[in-house]
Structure 1
Amino acid sequence: MSFFKKIARDIANKVDPQRHSERHQEQLHSPQGPQPQGNYGNSFQQPFEAPPLDDHFVEVQPPQQPGLTNAPAAPSDSTLEALKLPDEHHNTIPDFSRVGYREGHVRIPVIPVSVIVEPSNNDTMDDTARIQSAIDQVSAQPLESIGEDGAVVRGAVLLKAGMYRVAGALVIHTTGVVLRGEGQDEAGTIIVATGAIQRDFILVNGMLSSDMGTVQNQQTLARTKDMMPTNGYKSSKRPSTTTMAGVYVPVGETHIPVESIEGFSVGERIVIERPGSDEWINDIGMDSLPPRPDSAASVQWKKETFTFKYERTILGIDDVTSSLIIDIPMVMSLDPKYPPAKVYELIYRSPMISDVGVENLRLVSEFDPVNAEDEAHGWYAIVVDNTTHGWVADVTTMHFVSGIFASTWSRYITIQDCSVLYPVSKPTEGGRRYQFCLNGQMGLVKRCFTNNARHDFITLARCCGPNVFVDSTGVDANNDTGPHERWATGTLYDNITCNTINVRQRLWKGSGQGWSGAYQVVYNCTANGNNSCFQDAPGSTNWIVGFKGGQTRQPEFEAQSTLVRAENATVEPRSLYWAQLVARVGDAQYI
C-alpha cells in the first residue's frame, strides 16, 4: 500500500468527516451559513519532487443518469501529486494549514464569564459607557493561562439577550478579553449602532484606548488615522542577515538559504523582508500604467511602497546549506535578480494583544430609511487590528456599509460562522461593501455568508498572506471575490461560491492598481456569473483548480491567462485547506 493510500485510509478510519463543522461552544452558538462537507486529503512533498504539469486530477463524478455509465475515478493519490503543480521556477502551492487562531488546529476557547451586563430595555438610553465599562473592568483583571496552546485570558463580558443601543464605538484593547452575547438571532443579543456617525463599530485593537469609543471622540476621530494606528517593527540588537546571493527561493519553499545563520535560533520569530525594486516594478509593467479614461493620471508603483514583510517562525537550522527552515512556506518568490531579502528578529514597535474575541451576537446599524444609499452610519461592523490570535465567531451584522475586517496588523485571526447581511451604502462606489476582508497575515474565514456585497471575500493592497477563505458563500454581489487593489500574495479561496472570482490585471482602475495579486489559489470554487477572469503577472503563477463558472471571453485588460485545471469539475480532496490541516495535525480537533 502506498504512503498516500495508507494516510487516506487512516484518516477515513479515525475521523468523522463532519467533525470540523462543530461549533466551538456546543450549546452557546447557533450555526449560520453554509456548512463544510466531508473528504480530507494528504500531505504535500518537497516542491522539487513534483511531477510535470499534467491534468490527472480526480474529478468527482456526477450522479449516473439512465443509459449512461460513469467511468471509475483514478486513485486519489494522483490528485495529490497533481496539486504540486510546479511552474518553471518550481513554485508550488503552499501549505495553507497554519492560519487562524492558534494556527487553526485548536478550538476557540470558551472564556469564563467575568462580568454580566443586562439590557437596559430603554429605547432612548445610550449603552456605550455601560458596555465599555464592563470591558474595562475585565481588562483590569489578571491574566490566566488556559489549555495547552498558549492562550492567556482574563474573562468574558456577557451581554444578556436583549437590545443594546450604542451611539459611539466599543473598544477591546487588552489581551484576554471577550465580548459575548447570547445568540445572533432576533431572540439573542442585539447591539444597535445608533446615530448618524460614520464610524467603525467594534474595534479590537491593542493600540487604542477605551475612551476612543466615546461619542465625542467618534464624532471627531472616526475613520481617521488616529483610529487606525500603524504598528511596525523595532530594530533588534540581534544579528540580521540576507538571503543567499544567486539562489532562487520559490513559492512553497520552507528552506531559506541565507548568508549567515549566526545568532538565529529555533523557535525564534523572524521577518523576511523582500524589498521593492525599480527593476521588479519595470518587469511587471507597473511603472508605465496608462491614464484613466477620464484622463486622470494613474499612480505609478514606487519601490518604497512595495516592500513585503513576511512573519515566520524558525523550525530548524541547516548548518550544511546555511538555511533557516521556516514554519510557513514562502508565498512570494525571492528572485536573486532583485535585491536580496533581509531577515531579522521580529519585535513589534507597539504591543499586540492576543486571545481576544467577539462572539455570539447580532450587530445592527441604524440608517435613514428613506435613503437606500445612506452612508452617515456604521461603516465596518468589526475591525480587528494590532492583534494576534483572535476571533470573531457566530456574529451577524446588518445594514453596515461593510462587514468584518482583519486589518493590516492582524495575525492569526479566525472569522467563523458569521453572516454579513443587507449593507446600506452607495452600491457600486469603491471602498464600500467589503464584507469579509483579510489584509493581515495568517487570517482565516470559514463557513461564512453574505449578500448584496460589492466584494464578498477579498484582500487589499500589498497583503502579504497566507490567508484562507473556505466553505463560504456570497449571494448577489455586484463586483468580484478575489485579491483587490495592488499585489496581494498567498491567498487560498477554497469552496467559495459567489457571483464572480477574479485574479487579474486591473491596470488603471482605482487610480492605477495594476496587478491585484499573485500566487493565488482558487480551489473547488463556483462562480454563478459568466465574467470571471484569471491572469498571471509576469514571472508569477496562480493555481485555478476545479473551477465551476463562466470565464469572460473579453478580459478588460490583456494579459497572460492562467491555466484552469479541472474546469467545470469538482476534484478531490474536497477542500485543500482541510486536507492540508489534517495532513499536518492528524485527527486532533476540527472546529
Structure 2
Amino acid sequence: MTNVFSRRSLLGAGGAVVGGAALGSLGMSQASGATPQASTTGLWQSERVRYDAKYRLVYTADAEGNRIPDFSYAGYKYGDSPIPHVRTVKTVKPIEGDNTAHLQAAIDEVAGRTPDHAGFRGALLLAPGNYSVAGTLRVNQSGVVLRGSGDGADPERHTIIQATGNTPVSRDVIVLGGGTSTSWRGQVPGTRTDITSDWVQVGSRSFEVADASALKKGDNIILIHPCTEAWLTAVDHGGTATDAGWTVDSQPITYNRYIHSIRGNTVTVDVPLFEHLRRDLAQSYLYVWDRAGLVTGVGVESLRIDIQFAGDPDVDEAHAWVGVKVRQVEDAWVRDSTFLHFAKAGVETTEATRVTVRNCRALDPASVVTGGLRYNFNCESFSQQVLFVDCHATKARHAFISNGASSASGIVFLRGTSEGALASSEGHRRWSQGLLWDNHRDVAPQVDLTLGIYNRGDYGTGHGWATSHSVGWNCDTGTAKLVVQKPPTAQNYAIGCRGVVTGDGPFSQPAGYIEGANRPGLFPPSLYQAQYLDRHR
C-alpha cells in the first residue's frame, strides 16, 4: 500500500502509537476479544466512532440515523498516492520588469510537451529571485507543475513572485486549472436516471437507481438532490432568522463521484455521501458527466507570493486578491508555499475535487476587515474531497472555511493553525456538508468565537444553516468558543475539543453533539488519520 500516512504517524499526545495492531501497546488486549478499552491508559473513545474488538472503526447512529461520515477520501488521488515529484523539464530566471509574459511562455512551453506514461508533461522550475508579476499566470494544461526554489524571503535562495498592480481588479496571481465555470452541468446524453432508494443514509456509498443500463464501472457521475419545497420545509427554509428563507432550486446538494461497481440496479460509488437522500423530500438523480474543460495532475510548489500593496494593510485592497486559485481540476496540489498580503485568500478552490494543500502559509492579509475578505484557506462552490494539511493562517477573518454552500462537501482541515483570528473558521453558508476540523488550533485569537459548526442566521445574505454532518475533533480554541449546533434533519459534532465548547451561538438553536469537552486523551487523536488507516486494512 502506498499512502500518505503510516501507522506510526498516528500518534497520541504522549507519543504512543495508536493505530490498528498497535492498540495492544495501549492496554487494549487483542487476546481478550472485548471491545478495546483505554481506562488504564487515560485514553477514551467516542460513543459515535470507536474501535471494536477486531480493531475496526464502528459508527453509532442517533435516533434520526445521523452518523459521522468517513472523511478519509479527501486529497490528491483520495490520499492513496503521495504527491508525485514531477521531473523538471525547464528552468527559468527572473527578468527585469514584468515577468508575466516571460513566465507564461515558459509554462506554455512545458504544457506543449507530450505527457509521459503517468500523464505528466513536466515541471517548470523558477530559479531563486524576485519575479515581478503584474498579471495572472495560468497553469491550464494537465500534467504541468509550477515549482519554485523555496518559499522563504531571501531572493538569493528562494522564489518570490511579487504581484504588482491591480489589473484586472481583484485578480488571482496564479490559476491552477481550467478557465471556465461549468458547475458540472454537462450530461452525457441518455445517462440520467433517478435514485429510487427511499432513504440513503449519510455515509452510504450504495443506492438503487431506476435504470443502470447506461452506466458502467468507472463512470464519472454527478449526483443531485434537488432543493424542493418539501426539503426546505424540513430544514426550516435554512434557518435564516430575519432574512428571507432559502427558495426552491437555490441550494441543490451536488456530489461528484465515480461508479465503483454496479450490481443490477444497485450502484456503489467511490466516496460516501455526506447527506441523507430522502425520496419523500426530493427525487434525487444522477448522470454521467462529460468532464468538459477538466484539468488533472497539476501543482504549485515551493514558492512565495508576496502581493504588493500601498498604505494601511487594514484599508488597502486595490491589489491582487487570491494567491492561488485552484479551479476546474481533479487530482491537484499546492504545497510548501507561502502567500502574503492577499485580500481574499492565499489558496482558494472551486470546481475542484481530490485536491491537497499541504504545508502552506497564508499570512497577513491586506484588506478592510469585512465580509467576503480574509478567507485565508477557502473552499468555494463545487469543492469536494479537499484536504488541507499542516497549514498556518494569520490575521484571518475565516482562516479555514467552506464558502461553497450546498455544492461543497468532504473537506478536511487537518492540523491547521490560526493565529490572531478576527472571526471564526467555519462552515460559512447554506448547507455545506461533511466538513472536518481535525486537531485545529487557535493561537491568540482577537475574538471570542473561533470555530463555528453552526447556524449563521441572517449573517451575510441568509447564510442560515452553514453546515451539516460536520465535525470538530480534538480541536483547541483556547479561551475562545467552539460553537456546535444541530441542524434539522442532520447533526454536527464536537468531540474531545478544548476551549469553551458550547451550543450557545449567535443564533439560538439546539446544541449539536458535544462529547468529552476539555477531557484529555481522546482516542484516536486524529479522526481523519484513523479513518484513512481503517480504510486500508
Please name the residue that 1:432 is paired with. Answer: 373
Quote the Cα distance in structure 2 between the aligned partners of 1:173 and 1:497. 35
Match of 1:171 among 138, 144, 162: 138
- Taking a change above 3 Å as real, the CA distance of residues 299 and 161 of structure 1, as seen in their structure-2 partners, is farther
- Taking a change above 3 Å as real, the CA distance of residues 75 and 531 of structure 1, as seen in their structure-2 partners, is closer
Query: Looking at both structures, which has the greater relative contact order when contacts are Cα pairs under 8 Å and sequence separation is at least 6?
Result: 1
Please name the residue that 1:111 is paired with. Answer: 86
State the 1:185 CA deviation. Answer: 0.8
The 3-state SS of whatever aligns with 2:254 is strand
Amino acid corresponding to residue 549 of structure 1 in structure 2: G
State the 1:328 CA deviation. Answer: 1.0
State the 1:309 CA deviation. Answer: 1.7
> How many pairs are equivalent?
498
- Of stretches 182-191 and 71-80 in structure 1, the one that deviates more from structure 2 is 71-80
Please name the residue that 1:241 is paired with. Answer: 193
Structural mapping, 1:243-392, within 5 Å: 243-244=195-196, 247-286=198-237, 289-291=240-242, 298-319=243-264, 322-348=265-291, 350-370=292-312, 372-392=314-334
Contact preservation (8 Å) 1:165, 1:193: yes
State the 1:92 CA deviation. Answer: 2.0
Structure 2 residue 509 is matched with structure 1 residue 566: no
- Taking a change above 3 Å as real, the CA distance of residues 376 and 83 of structure 1, as seen in their structure-2 partners, is farther
Contact preservation (8 Å) 1:105, 1:585: no
Deviations 1:48-102 (A, max 9, x none): xxxxxxxx9977x9xxxxxxxx875469998335861312233322221211111
Please name the residue that 1:543 is paired with. Answer: 493
- Taking a change above 3 Å as real, the CA distance of residues 329 and 280 of structure 1, as seen in their structure-2 partners, is same
- Taking a change above 3 Å as real, the CA distance of residues 585 and 279 of structure 1, as seen in their structure-2 partners, is same
The 3-state SS of whatever aligns with 1:103 is helix
Please name the residue that 1:40 is paired with. Answer: 19
Identity, % of aligned positions: 29
- Of stretches 157-166 and 491-500 in structure 1, the one that deviates more from structure 2 is 491-500
Please name the residue that 1:515 is paired with. Answer: 465
Quote the Cα distance in structure 1 between the aligned partners of 2:257 and 2:328. 17
Structure 2 residue 127 is matched with structure 1 residue 186: no
The 3-state SS of whatever aligns with 2:523 is coil
State the 1:533 CA deviation. Answer: 1.3
Match of 2:455 among 494, 499, 505: 505
Amino acid corresponding to residue 433 of structure 1 in structure 2: R
Deviations 1:320-342 (A, max 9, x none): xx421122111010112212210
State the 1:371 CA deviation. Answer: 5.4
Quote the Cα distance in structure 2 between the aligned partners of 1:379 and 1:288. 31
Structure 2 residue 452 is matched with structure 1 residue 481: no
Which runs of no fewer than 5 residues in structure 1 stay unpaired?
A: 1-10, 21-35, 43-55, 62-69, 147-151, 209-228, 292-297, 587-591
Contact preservation (8 Å) 1:406, 1:413: no
State the 1:438 CA deviation. Answer: 2.1
Quote the Cα distance in structure 1 between the aligned partners of 2:256 and 2:245. 27
Please name the residue that 2:116 is paired with. Answer: 144
- Taking a change above 3 Å as real, the CA distance of residues 335 and 57 of structure 1, as seen in their structure-2 partners, is farther
Structural mapping, 1:68-217, within 5 Å: 73=43, 79-81=50-52, 84-120=59-95, 122=96, 125-146=97-118, 152-187=119-154, 188-197=158-167, 198-207=170-179
Quote the Cα distance in structure 2 between the aligned partners of 1:127 and 1:571. 50
Deviations 1:342-378 (A, max 9, x none): 0221223x22011111100111011113554200012
Contact preservation (8 Å) 1:41, 1:576: no
What's the TM-score, normalizing by structure 2? Answer: 0.87
- Structure (1/2) with the larger strand percentage: 2
- Taking a change above 3 Å as real, the CA distance of residues 289 and 184 of structure 1, as seen in their structure-2 partners, is closer
Contact preservation (8 Å) 2:10, 2:526: no
Amino acid corresponding to residue 202 of structure 1 in structure 2: I
State the 1:263 CA deviation. Answer: 2.8
State the 1:432 CA deviation. Answer: 0.6
- Taking a change above 3 Å as real, the CA distance of residues 399 and 371 of structure 1, as seen in their structure-2 partners, is closer
Contact preservation (8 Å) 2:301, 2:336: yes
Computed over aligned residues only, the root mean square deviation of the Cα atoms, in angstroms, reads: 2.7
Amino acid corresponding to residue 333 of structure 1 in structure 2: H
Quote the Cα distance in structure 2 between the aligned partners of 1:551 and 1:19. 25
The 3-state SS of whatever aligns with 2:336 is strand
State the 1:393 CA deviation. Answer: 0.5
- Structure (1/2) with the larger helix percentage: 1
Quote the Cα distance in structure 1 between the aligned partners of 2:348 and 2:408. 13
- Taking a change above 3 Å as real, the CA distance of residues 106 and 451 of structure 1, as seen in their structure-2 partners, is same
Contact preservation (8 Å) 2:503, 2:512: no
- Taking a change above 3 Å as real, the CA distance of residues 19 and 509 of structure 1, as seen in their structure-2 partners, is closer
Quote the Cα distance in structure 2 between the aligned partners of 1:183 and 1:37. 33
- Of stretches 389-398 and 229-238 in structure 1, the one that deviates more from structure 2 is 229-238
Match of 1:556 among 487, 495, 506: 506
The 3-state SS of whatever aligns with 1:232 is coil
The 3-state SS of whatever aligns with 1:536 is coil
Please name the residue that 1:422 is paired with. Answer: 364
Which runs of no fewer than 5 residues in structure 2 stay unpaired?
A: 22-34
- Taking a change above 3 Å as real, the CA distance of residues 491 and 73 of structure 1, as seen in their structure-2 partners, is closer
Contact preservation (8 Å) 1:402, 1:423: yes
State the 1:41 CA deviation. Answer: 5.1
Quote the Cα distance in structure 1 between the aligned partners of 2:418 and 2:425. 9
Amino acid corresponding to residue 477 of structure 2 in structure 1: A
Contact preservation (8 Å) 1:40, 1:575: no
